[in-house]
Amino acid sequence: MNEELISKASMMDAELAEFLSKHPVPKADWSNLDKFRTARAGLAEKRLKEQGSPGPGFEEEFRTISMRDGFQSRIKIHKPVNGDGPLIVLVFGGGFIVGNDEQLTPLGRATAKAFTATTMTVSYRLAPEHKFPTPAHDVEDSLLWIASNAEKLGADPTKGFVLGGISAGGNLAACVAQKTLDDKSLSHPLTGLWLCVPWIFPLDKDLVPERYKNIYNSREQANNVPVLDKDALVAINSHVSPDASSPLHSPFNSKTPHKGLPPTYIQVCGLDPLRDDGLVYERVLHDHGVVTRLDVWPGVPHAHFAFFPFLAISKQAVTDIIMGFNWLLGTDMSAQTIHGLLAPGQIGA
């Protein structure tokens, strides 16, 4: 990772630039919560309708589980009818203020089919109605319950137990993975971690290691890009009201961070204010002996595969995601085999 490569990654993809020249995308207003939620809910409903049924040999169901404060939270289970494969837990994105446990249904189905996995998509309560640390507590409580009930749910975590998330879900996955490692609280250890365009650091640079501060520039660089920019991060922060010193806000706040984490697959976008969160975290994990894999999608904004699915790089991204799970689970599946399991635009963030 060097400044030259990062500079190239921040140059807009030519196909995207041509599209935006003809179809300008208005700046997303994350501060207008009602309008933002209405727009995102409509998009999510459209995506879900396009999914249809899971197909023969696979089943889906919802379960309701208790959180620490008695709240009943929902999880969605995707699995083969007759399977005892690995366990995958997915956490949706949406800036902690939109989204639900059905957002990652396409990925839940794809991983269930590709790896005969039991894949759970979990819920968490949203800000600003439920501020920090409620979302992290809900994800932690859900993960602990799933681990304790894995065999009853048709999974065999000894074949693989992967936790992952997109965007805000990537933050929650990273923080909860670190916390459960610190607490030694999981009845089965995680064997893999998937962090897609994750938010790792607070809005300031204080937690960024000194050796990487010179390349931590994406927050400032991504001031005028589609989907997510620095203004959006400020608005999200005001909705969530996090404690920037808490280990549930950043894994860097752990008393014993980074050591002992499972193999971790990180994905970042070149035109994303969160780009350097993922790049720096991957380097720090590697420095601490964690096995890592990194994909950089140059020239595209945050979660481009969800909002610009027609781009060639977005089509590549969905293959990269499944191949990343292939790596985390230690299976030997070719990109050709997984073609068609997941399509760009199906995964929300």
Residue 345 lies in a domain: no
Render pLDDT for 302-341 as a digit per residue (tens, 0 to 9): 999 999 999 999 999 999 999 999 999 999 876 666 666 7
User: What is the CATH number for 313?
Assistant: 3.40.50.1820
To which H or E segment does residue 162 belong?
Answer: strand 161-166
Render pLDDT for 40-94 as a digit per residue (tens, 0 to 9): 877 777 777 777 778 888 999 999 999 999 999 999 999 999 878 999 999 999 9
Across residues 142-165, what is the average pLDDT?
97
Render pLDDT for 21-32 as a digit per residue (tens, 0 to 9): 999 998 888 888
Render pLDDT for 175-233 as a digit per residue (tens, 0 to 9): 999 999 999 999 999 999 999 999 999 999 999 999 999 999 999 988 889 999 999 99
Query: What's the confidence (pLDDT) of residue 13?
Result: 96
* 177, 265 contact by CB (below 8 A): no
Across residues 112-120, what is the average pLDDT?
95
Q: State how many domains the chain has.
A: 1
Q: What's the rounded Cα separation, in Å, for the pair 28 and 36?
A: 8
Can you tell me which residue has the tokens 């996090």?
242
Other beta carbons less than 10 A from residue 32's beta carbon:
12
User: Could you tell me what percent of the chain has a pLDDT over 90?
Assistant: 79
Q: For residues 57, 63, 67 and 72, what is the CA-based torsion angle, rounded to 10 degrees?
A: 150
Q: What's the rounded Cα separation, in Å, for the pair 25 and 285?
A: 36
Range of the domain at 227: 3-338
Query: What's the confidence (pLDDT) of residue 312?
Result: 96
Render pLDDT for 257-284 as a digit per residue (tens, 0 to 9): 999 999 999 999 999 999 999 999 999 9
Which two three-digit tokens encode residue 197?
């365009």
Cα 309 to Cα 93, 95, 258, 334, 346, distances in angstroms: 17, 20, 34, 22, 8
* 147, 176 contact by CB (below 8 A): no
Q: What's the rounded Cα separation, in Å, for the pair 324 and 257?
A: 23
* 226, 301 contact by CB (below 8 A): yes
Task: Name the more confident of 2 and 97.
Answer: 97
Which two three-digit tokens encode residue 35?
């309008």
Across residues 6-17, what is the average pLDDT?
90
Cα 16 to Cα 262, 271, 275, 309, distances in angstroms: 35, 11, 18, 11
Residue 12 lies in a domain: yes
pTM, whole model, 2 decimals? 0.95
Q: What's the rounded Cα separation, in Å, for the pair 126 and 233?
A: 16
Mean pLDDT for all residues in the chain = 93
Q: What's the rounded Cα separation, in Å, for the pair 177 and 13?
A: 33
Residue 343 lies in a domain: no
